Structure 1
């Protein structure tokens, strides 16, 4: 959508918007494709608050989200463009929430615990108790 918004026929004088977002679209599409191809994230999603652990919350991705939103919000304030400011302001808020959760739950995170081993131990204990 940002590439369409940056087109000269839609929004004149927005060469920076179309250039950056066009390159970003290609890079992010590649990243997301590789991520979904090689990751097993489905069982690990949305567990930060439930487990009180940030083991599966990527710190640098959250930090990049915040920095990206701040840079584009600054650009939008300079250009006085509400269409860029509103979604990127929400991105700043999202990045702040993620980093806040990271700071809040960092100390309660057990970095050494292996989820698969914990489940195996539970199955062994359950089987042992039934016998």
Structure 2
């Protein structure tokens, strides 16, 4: 069973690497256009904090080096994404991103380390870190809800990258399975929630991945008639 759980954890690490790298296409678009457009920085800020705490948790708890290594990789990748937001976001989004990075990724993380190191010992410290990590993982998985709201409102999935949703789904599923094998419920609960939310995002993709052609054609035809009318009016009025 120990060998099997290790194998599942290795698969989980591979899927997590793919999840962390899945927004690369989105950020390449941001770099080329030199604008973050309507993309939101909050999911990436939350992921930086979550991966930081899980790395600390994996280092502190014996036998959780798989958790520590993959989250250490996640810190590097997600920090690059946040840096690109700080570089290319509009002024208002850039200020919001900088404030949240200072409060969450620096202030909260430093406070968590100080409290757990100075006030807690042994299993209590590990449990506290697991509890914090679980809460932040839930926030990480819930943070795309703003993008989901945009999808439902606009009936377009342009600002909800497919591969990020897909690997959220896979990542939540495999780490829930791993957590149940090793009986780590701090890992199981948030990843179970992420698995369910990933399913929801994929369902939305199936519904809204293509705009309704009839509406677009009708709108285009209507706009064409209006424009033709304006042109005729401009031709007739001077006479």
Q: TM-score, normalised by structure 2?
A: 0.40
CA apart distance, 1:39: 5.7
CA shift for structure 1 position 86: 0.7
- Aligned partner of 2:172 in structure 1 is 69
Partner of 1:3: 55
Three-state SS of the structure 2 residue aligned to 1:54 is coil
Alignment partner for residue 190 of structure 2, among 68, 82, 87? 87
Query: Could you list the per-position Cα deviations for residues 1-45 of structure 1 after superposition, in whole angstroms to 9, with x for gaps in the alignment?
Result: 21121123xx221111111111111112112322553467x7x95
The 1:65–1:81 alpha-carbon spacing in structure 2 relative to 1, beyond 3 Å, is same
Match of 1:116 in 2: none
Distance 2:59 2:77 in 1: 19
* 1:65 to partner: Cα distance: 1.1
The 8 Å contact of residues 66 and 96 in structure 1, kept in 2 or not, is answered as yes
Shift of 1:83: 0.4
Aligned residue for 1:55, secondary structure, equals: coil
Return closer, same or farther for 1:63/1:32 CA change in 2, 3 Å cut-off.
farther
Unaligned runs of 5+ in 1: 114-120
Deviations 1:41-64 (A, max 9, x none): x7x954211122222221111111
Looking at structure 1, the residues matched to 202 and 64 of structure 2 have their Cα atoms a distance apart, in angstroms, of 31
Does the 8 Å CA contact 1:66/1:94 hold for their aligned counterparts? yes
Q: Secondary structure at the match of 2:63?
A: coil
SS of corresponding position for 2:77: helix
| Structure 2 residues not aligned, in runs of 5+ | 1-52, 94-145, 217-222, 231-239
43, 46, 49: which one pairs with 2:152? Answer: 49
CA distance in 2, matches of 1:62, 1:29: 19
Structure 1 residues 53 and 29: CA distance shift in structure 2, 3 A? same
Instruction: Count the aligned residue pairs.
Output: 111
Equivalent in the alignment of 1:20: 70
Change (3 A) 1:7 1:91: same
Pairwise CA RMSD:
2.9
The 1-side partners of 2:212 and 2:65 are apart by 44
